Structure 1
Amino acid sequence: MNFDELTRFLEKRVQQPMPGEAAHQRMKPKMADGSPLRLKHSTPPRKGGVLILLYEDEGGVRFPLIQRPSYEGIHSGQMALPGGRYENEDLDQFHTALRESQEEIGVEKDKVEIIGSLSEFFVAASNHMVLPVIGKIDHKPSFIPEPREVDDIITPPVMHLIDPSRLKEKEMTVRSGFKMICPYFDLEGRTVWGATAMMLSEFVDILNEYPVR
């Protein structure tokens, strides 16, 4: 997968309608007993932004994922795209994704070129409306994890997202004690599931339109 050709393709593709909900649903966890999963919130969702940062390495294209540390929150220990909550200082959710990524993985926001974004995604577990931003950088970054927010950083090849053998499913017990059947991406031996997998599923649909492998 050629970096320049892929990013040129993406620059044009993001100007067109996105796959959206149909892509998200393929990776949506479901209750192990078959009952519907319902989460209700009494307040409007807060805005957020995450970053799919593409860069060239060893002749291929890679992107970073972070592992959250163990804590009392709902995303404890999970794999995620770098990013976070919109703050008043942010111009928009694109800026949120860049600012939070600089804080979490040490990539200077001024060095990232924005390609565009996927569909806005509602993360029901945390009541956030998140914009997945696609960006590129012209060199291999030196990632610096922020220890309070990041336990580890992995950098899987983009090609692994469209490898059917990486798409799996298993039963998981979530923090609330519920057992769920969770589709996930097996990337670098890590389980990438939930909201992150659902957002990446839309990216996969777009990658599958890319005519060159």
Structure 2
Amino acid sequence: MATHDPLVGVKQALGRPSAESSDFDLNPDVSLPAGRKLRPAAVLVGFIDRGAGPHVVLTKRSSRLKHHPGQIAFPGGKVDEGDVDVVDTALREAWEEVGLRRDQVEVFGTLPRHETVTSFTVTPVLGRISDDFAPVAEPGEVDEIFEVPLAHLADPANYLVQSRRWRGQRRYYHTVPWGPYYIWGATARMLRGLAERMV
């Protein structure tokens, strides 16, 4: 008898067409320069099931980092010259940041790119992580590694829109809080994009 794959909804979501997203989605008054240079990057949206249902692996970035210090993020980073493609980037970064080996990931595919306020264009790479993964944080980049239930992140009702002053203007952004973790900005927007595709 075939067993149900708890990530079937994630796989189906990859086949649903949708537009690219941006940190500016909720701020239509922001005028972005046409010739702006965006640096390619990739993140790993990794799903792990240790018997309590699928969870998404997230990190709390080091407060010493130049970009997004102290924020909640997926393992990932900018594309390096030696990377074959964005999947290669996401897997390399996951190994460097959280000790996830390539052979511990079954890659499903990618979601549309997301543009950040820091001028990166980020490709989310989705994949299943084997349950023998033992996280090891890279101390220079990651302060903490934790897991959030996919059931929480896949429910659009758990997402809020909040705002703060940024560069003299009111900026709106998505959030999806979980326990003590304040997940917001680009990470929350990419997760919301996945949630919308899974409905």
TM-score over 0.5 for the pair: yes
Percent identity of paired positions between Structure 1 and Structure 2 = 28
Shift of 1:205: 1.3
State TM-score, norm by structure 1.
0.79
Shift of 1:73: 2.6
Runs of 5+ consecutive residues of structure 1 not aligned to the other structure: 209-213
User: Could you tell me which residue of structure 2 aligns to residue 194 of structure 1?
Assistant: 185
Runs of 5+ consecutive residues of structure 2 not aligned to the other structure: none
Number of aligned pairs?
Answer: 197
Shift of 1:169: 3.3
Shift of 1:92: 0.3
User: Could you tell me which residue of structure 1 aligns to residue 196 of structure 2?
Assistant: 205
Q: 1:43-122 maps to which residues of 2 (within 5 A)?
A: 44-71=37-64, 73-122=66-115
CA contact (8 A) 2:61 2:70 kept: yes
Shift of 1:58: 3.3
User: Could you tell me which residue of structure 1 aligns to residue 135 of structure 2?
Assistant: 143
Paired residue secondary structure (1:47): strand
State TM-score, norm by structure 2.
0.84
* Match for residue 164 of structure 2 among 158, 172, 178: 172
Matched, 1:131 2:123: yes
CA contact (8 A) 1:186 1:192 kept: yes
CA contact (8 A) 1:66 1:151 kept: yes
User: Could you tell me which residue of structure 2 aligns to residue 36 of structure 1?
Assistant: 29
Q: Distance in 2 between matches of 1:42 and 1:162?
A: 35
1:8-64: CA deviation from partner (whole Å, max 9, x where unpaired) = 4433542x343334xx4799454xxxx823454865322111011011123310011
The root-mean-square deviation of aligned C-alpha atoms, in Å, is: 2.7
Ranges of 4+ aligned residues in structure 1 off by more than 6 Å: none
CA contact (8 A) 1:19 1:205 kept: no
